[in-house]
Structure 1
Amino acid sequence: MSVERTVELEGHIIDSGRMQACFTAVMDLGGSFEVEAFDVGKHETDESYCRLRVTAADDVTLREILHELHQNGAVLEDPPNVTLEPAPEDRVVPSGFYSTTNHPTEVRYDDAWIPVEHIEMDCAIVLEPEGGPDGDPRAYTKVLNAIESGDLVATDESGIRVRPPERPRGSDGPFGFMQGGISAERPSESTIRQVADELVETAENGGTVLVVAGPAVIHSGAGEALARLVREGYVDALSAGNGFATHDLERSIYGTSLGMDVETLEHPRKGHKHHIWTISEVIREGGIAEAVEAGTVTEGVMYECVENDVPYVLAGSIRDDGPLPDTITDAVEAQNAIREQAREADLVLMLATLLHSVAVGNCLPSTTRTVCVDINPATVTQLLDRGSAQAIGMVTDIGTFVPTLADFVLESDAE
């Protein structure tokens, strides 16, 4: 005997491909469907509506189909309130807890939809019945290690709806100029100019730009251009690792990066020791800000961050030399610091760093515009494969990208 449920889809479900994705999911999983109602928006910005009756051979198959439809923004007709269960212990969630996507999400509580705050992927949803400023219900995400005993955790997706990013007809949508993922074949200069326009627009609108940078930015000679963007106010926060900061500081103190002169490509005698000597000098001063104040560090990205009050998070790893005093060596503490940066960001530039790009990408909602640039296509591919569907990639040399970007941004600023 077959089983069935009715779901609803609304929004720009045709242009964004959500309706087709739902039809495909039902058929691929062995179910069938009947469109009971379909109202098509008649103008470019009008939304559409579809009511779909889904049929499957058994409850297990139906649950699998409904899960896939849920990921594409479908919601049950007459949805129930969200199912909540108290966490039995600190850092322990109820079995079958709802694991979040990075799309804007709402939970149904007391017959009303409540937006989930601080949305990011792979978290639990906690609801406080009177947690809002006026005693209203409040829902928000928590990572598993932050769960406290007694937290009311969402455990069933039937009372939850997600809203994947959409693109109305006739609109490029967010970052439409690079719609389509990864490519090394687009005209680089025109694409970089469009990224520059996004950067300038974000700054003019009072938005926050987060730069995620790897050591290759310094090794390639692009550090000076990134420092210019910081100095001119186009970078509001920096997320990096011990290696990036060390080689940027090394360049200021010794004129080298990983022991190599980035301008002449020569390797000075004992240059291989410059990075560890740099760390030693910064430790001696007490930290990066103190090294800048003492005149030990006189230029570079970290120098400009200190001089222009641009906050930075340096997250450590097991590979780090030293590390620098400013490096956060506790992984959970570093995650939380990155998470705070990600929540404030309106535009994220990920520059030549796989591990940091994935780490920050995991903390970003799908509404945050993100550009990932790397010479290796696998870096961008891995970021998208992790679920950062909002990220768009450009495969090019970082040593060309950052200086060209800075030139276009500052050229626009001068006009």
Structure 2
Amino acid sequence: MAGLVVRGRADRPKTHTLTIPRHKERSMTVSRTVELEGHIIDSGMMGTCFGVVMDMGGEFEVEEFEVGRTKHAETYCRMRVTADTEEDLRAILHELNQQGATVTDPRDATLEAAPEDGVVPVDFYSTTNHPTVVRVDGEWLPVEDVEMDCALVVDRSGETPRVHTTVLNAIEAGDLVVTGDTGIRVDPPERPRNGTGSFGFMQGGVSSERPSASLIEEIADEMRAVNEDDGTVLAVCGPAIVHSGGRNALADLVRTGYVDALSAGNGFAVHDLERDLYGTSLGVDTESLEHPRKGHKHHIYTISEIVRLGGIEAAVSEGVVSEGVMFECLENDIPYVLAGSIRDDGPLPDTITDAIEAQDAIREQAQDADLVLMLSTLLHSVAVGNCLPSTTKTVCVDINPATVTQLLDRGSAQAIGLVTDIGTFLPMLRDELLE
């Protein structure tokens, strides 16, 4: 049995001894000491770390445990982790690192030059989307442009070193890539005892049925705050916005400055433009729900007309397109990225058909966003979500509960979701903001 001393930070003289059974008794040969600090009990971090060690065949002994005894106080845990071999211990420490544990005797990160363009060292560190710092030359440096599934590159070209994430295809020969887990600290989201509000750590959860007026008010308040701070609200849009009748409400939000950037696929732009040119979306009149003759051809006619004119901007400047979301983006200098896919008709001249180029454009948008509205598009929202730090506030809206759940589970520390018709949500949000 391993002894555990519990010290309440608000009352250090009081001590209690608890016992924790070890995973199993056997001879161990290597060990390291790690620390956890923060709201590690409320967030489940401590229990998760205990489970990681045992599930991976190691053992742990808690050497010190100081419990924060007020709502704002943090908890501290130091434990020794042991394993059969260095390789086993390294694997355990890697998983603990992803949960926010750090070794007590930090060393500089290990750097290895990339052997050639697009090739990283074998043991490169694969990033999470959580805030991360790396120890270089004895100093802890924050990682710039935090993003999951990237490599960490140390840039020594300036007066002081910098650390930034780099996607694997952008690695250049000679780049100093961080390998292993030494000298890396990850700060995953916590759940403090006093977490309040819809944007607290998953506090909003998934709201089903009709949109909650109070929840929409919370989202509107956040959009106002971002607007007042000259921040960026990024709208990730699917064609269902047009099909369901939410197009005009979104256009109003763009026109009035509550949406600062737009990310979508070719389909969204096509149906938005089709609605202006023919009064239909996918050949259906969104107001009368009638199917005009040859309506099923309207989307391809729209693409042909925009191509003939030379693009969306030309169509707007010549007065062919006079309303809608894309119109408002151009009229109000709102940047947009249209990323193509294998399913696209046309596509429009404005659509980026190179997948790597589209990823880079989306990545630039995502890193600049303070609040992201994911509006009825699973695949495009996943693409944007992959580029977001876990600290970016996110709103996910879709009629499919599985879509909302999947988007919320992508690691954001501040996310809320609504299972509802986007054609109902957007007008309610518009009214809350404008009326």
Smaller-chain TM-score bracket: over 0.9
For the residue of structure 2 that corresponds to 1:102, the secondary structure is: coil
Instruction: Output the CA distance in 1 between the equivalents of 2:197 and 2:167.
Output: 30
Could you say which residue in structure 2 is the equivalent of 1:16? 43
Find the counterpart in structure 1 of residue 242 from structure 2: 218
What is aligned with 1:48? 75
Equivalences for residues 355-394 of structure 1 within 5 A: 355-388=379-412, 390-394=414-418
For the pair 1:63 / 2:90, whether they are aligned, the reply is yes
Instruction: State the match for 2:20 in structure 1.
Output: none
Q: Paired residue for 1:299, among 323, 326, 339?
A: 323
Q: Which residue of 2 aligns with 1:352?
A: 376
Name the count of aligned residue pairs: 408
Q: What CA distance in whole angstroms lies between the structure 2 residues aligned with 1:65 and 1:237?
A: 41
What is the root-mean-square deviation in Å for CA atoms of aligned residues? 1.9
1:33 aligns with 2:60: yes
Look up the match of 2:276.
252
- Residues 155/243 of structure 1: CA separation in 2 closer, same or farther (3 Å cut): same
TM superposition shift of 1:52? 1.3
Deviation at 1:318, TM superposition (A): 1.1
| Greater mean deviation of Cα atoms: 377-386 or 111-120 | 377-386
Alpha-carbon offset, residue 392 of structure 1: 3.2
Give the structure 2 partner of residue 136 of structure 1: 160
- AA matched with 2:236: V
CA distance, structure 2, for counterparts of residue 177 and residue 87 of structure 1: 37
> 1:380 Cα deviation (Å)?
2.4
Quick one: percent identity of the two aligned structures? 71
| TM-score normalised by the chain length of structure 1 | 0.93
- Measured in 2, the distance between the counterparts of 1:37 and 1:72 equals 19
Is 1:150 the counterpart of 2:174? The answer is yes
Deviates more, 1:144-153 or 1:203-212: 203-212
Q: Secondary structure at the match of 1:49?
A: strand
Decide whether aligned partners of structure 1 residues 353 and 285 sit closer, same or farther in structure 2, where only a CA change above 3 A counts.
Answer: same
Question: 1:177 touches 1:194 (CA, 8 Å); kept in 2?
Answer: no
- State the AA in 1 paired with 2:400: N
Flag the structure with larger Rg.
2
Q: Answer 1 or 2: which has greater strand percent.
A: 2
Question: In the alignment, what sits opposite 2:8?
Answer: none
Deviation (angstroms), 1:244? 0.1
Q: Tell me whether 39-48 or 326-335 shows the greater mean CA deviation.
A: 39-48
1:188 positional shift: 2.6
Give 1:335's aligned residue: 359
Question: How many Å apart are 1:59 and its aligned residue?
Answer: 3.6
Give the C-alpha shift of residue 192 in structure 1.
2.0
- Indicate conservation of the 8 Å contact 2:211/2:425, yes or no: no
CA deviation map 1:71-129 (0-9, x unaligned) = 11111111111011000000010101111000011111111111110010000000023
Alpha-carbon displacement from aligned partner over 1:346-373 (angstroms, at most 9, x marks no partner): 0000000011000000000001001111
1:164 matched to 2:191: no
Q: What do the CA deviations read for 1:233-277 (whole angstroms, capped 9, x no partner)? A: 100000001100000011111111111100000011111111111
CA contact (8 A) 1:174 1:369 kept: no
8 Å Cα contact 1:362-1:388 kept in structure 2: no
SS at match of 1:157: coil
Tell me the SS of whatever aligns to 1:371. Answer: strand
Q: SS in structure 2 opposite 1:372? A: strand
Contact 1:75 1:158 in 2 (8 A): no
Structure 1 CA distance, aligned partners of 2:238 and 2:192?
Answer: 35
Deviates more, 1:67-76 or 1:342-351: 67-76
Unaligned runs of 5+ in 2: 1-26
Which residue, 299, 319, 344 being the options, matches 1:320? Answer: 344
Which of 239, 242, 262 matches 2:266?
242
Q: Could you say which residue in structure 2 is the equivalent of 1:267? A: 291
Q: Match of 1:251, as an amino acid?
A: R
Residue 87 (structure 1) aligns with: 114
Q: Are the structure 2 counterparts of residues 360 and 350 from structure 1 closer, same or farther at C-alpha, using a change threshold of 3 Å?
A: same
Question: Which residue does 1:407 correspond to in 2?
Answer: 431
- Whether the 8 Å contact between 2:93 and 2:181 is mirrored in structure 1 is no
